[in-house]
C-alpha cells in the first residue's frame, strides 16, 4: 500500500510538471505552440494524464480503464526530450511516403508471383498454392525469410520437374522481393536519416553562428563614435523647399502576416551575416596590405620616393619664396636632372603598382621646376 501511495504522489508531481510546461509554452506563444507536432502530442498526452488522475468518479466506468491505458503514453514525451530519439522518430515519419511506394510495388510483384504460383503449382502443392490467399501467405513467409524451407520441402517431395521449377520460382522471388526490396527500404531510411542529421547540424551551426554574431556587431556599434541625433522636423525646417514632404509617422500593419514577418527576419539575418563577412574580408585585406608594406624592398622604395618628394618640395618652396641664394641656379638644374632620372627609374620599376601611385606626379613636378628655373 505504501508503494502505491508513493507512485501516486510521484505521478501527481509529473502531471503537475507537464501541465506547467504546457502552460508556459502557451504563454510564450499560443499559436506558435500548435505549429510543432511534438507540442500537439504533448498536449494530448498531458490532457490524458490530467483527466486520468482527476477523474476519480469514473473508477467503475469503462472510461476510467481507457484513461489508464492512455496514461501509458507519457513515455512518448521522452521521445521529444531526447534529441536522438526525436530525430529517429522524425526520420521514420519522413520515410513513410518512400516506404509506402516500395511496399505498394512489392505487393504488386507478390500478387503477380502468387497468380503464377496458383496457375503452375495449385495441383502439385495445394497446401501452399491451392488458392490466391494461400499463395500470398506463402510468399509473405518467403519475404520474411522465416519458414520458406518448409515450403521448399513441399516441392522436394514431388519428383520430376516440379522440384526444379519450384526451386527456381522461390529463388527468383526471394532474391527479388526479400533482398532487393529490403535493401531499398533500408536505403530510403538511411537517406532520410542522413538528411535529418545534416539539417540538425545546420540548425546547430546557425544557432551557434547567431550567438557569436551579435556580440561582434554590438561591440562594433559601441566602439564607434556616438553621432548626435537630429530630429527629422529640424531638418525640414532648415531646408528651403516649395513643397515640404511630411515624414511618415504612422504605418499600416493590417496586411502583416506571420509569413511576411518571418521573411523580414530572414532578410535581417542575412544582412547581419553579410556585415560580419564584410568585416572579416576587410581585416584580411588590411593584413595583406600590411604584409606587402612590411617587405624590405617595398619599404626601401617607399622611403626613396618620400625622400625625393621631400627634396623636390624643398626646391619648390625655395623658388616660391625667391630664396635663390639657398640653391645656385646651375647646381639646382643638375640636381633636378639627376633627381628626375632617379624618380623615373623608380616609377618604371613599379609600373602598375597602386602602392606608390603618388610617385607618378614627381617627374612632371620636377620638369615644371626645371623649365621654371631655365626661364629665370
Instruction: Give the CATH number for residue 128.
Output: 1.10.287.70
Mean pLDDT across the chain: 73
Q: Is residue 283 part of a domain?
A: no
Number of domains in the chain: 3
More reliable by pLDDT, 239 or 293: 293
Same domain, 176 and 100: yes
3-state secondary structure of 363: helix
Residue 9 CA to chain centroid, in angstroms?
Answer: 44
Q: Is the pLDDT of residue 352 over 70?
A: no
Cell representation of residue 78: 521522452
Q: Which domain holds residue 317?
A: 296-375
- What pLDDT shows up at residue 111? 92
pTM above threshold 0.85: no
Q: Is residue 88 part of a domain?
A: no
Q: Is residue 223 part of a domain?
A: no
Q: How confident is the model at residue 362 (pLDDT cuts 50, 70, 90)?
A: very low
- What pLDDT shows up at residue 228? 65
Same domain, 71 and 111: no
Q: Is residue 87 part of a domain?
A: no
State the Cα angle at 257 between 254 and 259, rounded to 5°: 155
Q: For the chain, what's the residue count?
A: 376
Q: Alpha carbon of 8 to those of 5, 65, 74, 183, 264: distances in Å?
A: 5, 16, 15, 47, 50
Residues 114 and 135 sit within 8 Å (Cβ to Cβ): yes
Q: How confident is the model at residue 265 (pLDDT cuts 50, 70, 90)?
A: confident
Q: Is the pLDDT of residue 15 over 70?
A: yes
Same domain, 54 and 130: no
Same domain, 109 and 11: no
Q: What gap in Å lies between CA 209 and CA 280, rounded to an integer?
A: 14
Q: Is residue 132 part of a domain?
A: yes
Q: Is residue 315 part of a domain?
A: yes
Residues 132 and 229 sit within 8 Å (Cβ to Cβ): no
Residue 118 CA to chain centroid, in angstroms?
Answer: 55
The DSSP code sequence of 40-86 is HHHHHHHHHHHHHHH-GGGTTSHHHHHHHHHGGGGGGHHHHHSHHHH
Where among 50, 81, 112 does a domain terminate?
Answer: 81
Same domain, 121 and 171: yes
Same domain, 16 and 77: yes
Q: What gap in Å lies between CA 46 and CA 16, rounded to an integer?
A: 9
Q: Is residue 119 part of a domain?
A: yes
Cell representation of residue 33: 505552440
Q: Alpha carbon of 317 to those of 312, 322, 369: distances in Å?
A: 9, 8, 11
Burial class (CB in 10 A: 0-12, 13-18, 19+), 166: buried
Q: What gap in Å lies between CA 349 and CA 352, rounded to an integer?
A: 9
Q: Phi-psi region for residue 257, left (φ > 0), alpha (ψ -120 to 50) or beta?
A: beta
- What pLDDT shows up at residue 101? 87
Q: What gap in Å lies between CA 374 and CA 59, rounded to an integer?
A: 121
Q: Is residue 285 part of a domain?
A: no
| Ramachandran angles phi, psi of 196, nearest 5° | -65, -40
Where among 186, 202, 218 does a domain terminate?
Answer: 202
Where among 30, 56, 81 does a domain terminate?
Answer: 81
Same domain, 74 and 163: no
Same domain, 74 and 152: no
Amino acid at each position: 500500500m505504501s508503494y502505491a501511495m508513493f507512485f501516486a504522489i510521484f505521478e501527481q508531481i509529473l502531471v503537475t510538471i507537464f501541465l506547467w510546461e504546457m502552460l508556459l509554452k502557451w504563454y510564450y506563444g499560443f499559436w506558435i505552440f500548435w505549429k510543432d507536432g511534438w507540442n500537439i502530442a504533448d498536449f494530448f498526452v498531458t490532457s490524458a494524464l490530467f483527466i486520468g488522475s482527476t477523474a476519480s468518479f469514473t473508477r467503475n466506468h469503462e472510461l476510467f480503464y481507457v484513461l489508464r491505458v492512455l496514461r501509458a503514453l507519457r513515455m512518448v514525451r521522452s521521445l521529444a526530450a531526447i534529441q536522438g530519439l526525436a530525430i529517429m522518430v522524425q526520420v521514420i515519419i519522413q520515410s513513410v511516403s518512400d516506404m509506402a511506394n516500395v511496399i505498394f510495388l512489392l505487393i504488386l510483384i507478390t500478387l503477380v508471383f502468387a497468380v503464377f504460383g496458383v496457375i503452375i503449382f495449385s495441383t502439385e502443392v495445394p497446401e501452399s498454392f491451392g488458392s490466391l490467399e494461400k499463395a500470398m501467405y506463402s510468399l509473405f513467409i518467403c519475404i520474411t525469410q522465416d519458414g520458406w524451407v518448409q515450403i521448399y520441402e513441399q516441392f522436394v517431395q514431388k519428383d520430376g520437374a516440379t522440384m526444379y521449377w519450384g526451386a527456381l520460382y522461390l529463388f527468383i522471388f526471394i532474391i527479388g522481393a526479400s533482398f532487393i526490396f529490403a535493401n531499398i527500404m533500408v536505403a530510403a531510411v538511411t537517406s532520410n536519416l542522413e538528411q535529418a542529421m545534416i539539417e540538425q547540424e545546420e540548425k546547430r551551426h546557425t544557432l551557434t553562428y547567431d550567438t557569436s554574431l551579435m556580440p561582434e556587431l554590438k561591440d562594433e556599434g559601441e566602439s564607434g563614435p556616438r553621432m548626435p541625433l537630429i530630429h527629422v522636423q529640424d531638418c525640414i525646417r532648415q531646408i528651403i523647399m516649395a513643397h515640404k514632404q511630411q515624414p511618415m509617422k504612422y504605418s499600416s500593419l493590417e496586411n502583416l502576416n506571420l509569413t511576411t514577418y518571418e521573411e523580414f527576419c530572414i532578410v535581417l539575418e542575412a544582412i547581419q551575416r553579410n556585415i560580419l563577412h564584410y568585416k572579416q574580408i576587410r581585416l584580411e585585406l588590411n593584413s595583406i596590405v600590411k604584409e606587402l608594406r612590411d617587405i624590405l624592398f617595398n619599404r626601401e622604395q617607399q622611403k626613396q620616393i618620400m625622400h625625393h618628394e621631400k627634396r623636390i618640395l624643398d626646391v619648390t618652396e625655395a623658388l616660391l619664396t625667391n630664396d635663390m641664394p639657398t640653391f645656385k641656379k646651375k647646381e639646382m638644374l643638375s640636381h633636378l636632372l639627376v633627381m628626375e632620372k632617379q624618380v623615373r627609374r623608380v616609377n618604371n620599376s613599379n609600373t602598375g603598382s597602386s602602392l606608390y601611385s603618388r610617385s607618378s606626379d614627381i617627374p612632371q613636378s620636377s620638369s615644371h621646376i626645371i623649365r621654371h628655373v631655365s626661364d629665370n
